[in-house]
Amino acid sequence: MSERTKGGNVILEQVLVPRTVEPGEPFEVEAKVSNGAGIINPWDKDHCRKPGATGPDGASGYSIEVVFEVDGETRVSGPTCIRKTAFGKRTNTYSKTFTAPSYGGSVDVEAYVRLPGSGKETGKMSQTVTVSSDDVEETDPPADDDDTGDGNDNDGDDDNGGNNPLAGIFPFLFPDGGGGGGLNALVGVLVLLAIAWMLDSGSDIAG
């Protein structure tokens, strides 16, 4: 929705702002203003003429100022002469640069057009700029569970007695490394008894 003055001929068409800005960073506010007058009385208080222009067609215009208000700060573009056209309307863009506050939040932006000769003004158009940093706070990585263990590690030893020492001597009897607990211990005892019997029998034969 536009704002108008001077019989609807001076038109504030649009106010443009960035959607977001970084805290403390500069940003630009633009206003598009049109002059739709086909004829301007040379004795009009707001009449102006482009410097150096010759001839009546397109040289005359309205003297305007574009007022920007951002968070209590006011800046003015102009006065400048926005010329008429023979048909349709002429649109110019005016801008001012502001600095975002150092804190996050939002900034209210307003703009309007005034004619200093007659004091006429358009209504105000408003926009909002969000002040927000794109930086994402880094978080510590999750703890590595591999370093804590699950409390069940026994470095390969069986809880029922550990590796059987006979596994190294008779690996074919203990394919699991002798970690079978009571059963492997019993087998070990029987093997030792058999060896002792064989040695004892051998000594009797030799005698």
DSSP state of 82: E
* pLDDT at res. 161: 44
What one-character-per-residue DSSP string does 98-163 give?
EE--SSSEEEEEEEEEE-TTT--BPPPEEEEEEE--------PPPP-GGGT--S---TT--TTT--
* pLDDT at res. 58: 59
In which domain, by residue range, is 178 found?
A: 158-206
* pLDDT at res. 50: 76
* Count: domains in the chain: 2
Same-domain check for residues 56 and 113: yes
Q: Is residue 8 part of a domain?
A: yes
The predicted model scores a pTM of 0.62
Same-domain check for residues 14 and 77: yes
Token output for 119? 């004091």
Token output for 129? 């700029």
Same-domain check for residues 122 and 58: yes
* pLDDT at res. 202: 54
Same-domain check for residues 164 and 100: no
Q: Is residue 148 part of a domain?
A: no
CATH number of 79's domain? 2.60.40.10
Same-domain check for residues 23 and 111: yes
Q: How far is CA 35 from CA 19, 68, 79, 97, 118, in A?
A: 28, 19, 15, 24, 16
Mean pLDDT in order along the chain per 10 residues (207 residues): 94 97 97 94 92 66 97 95 89 97 94 98 97 60 52 45 53 53 59 66 50
Same-domain check for residues 197 and 105: no
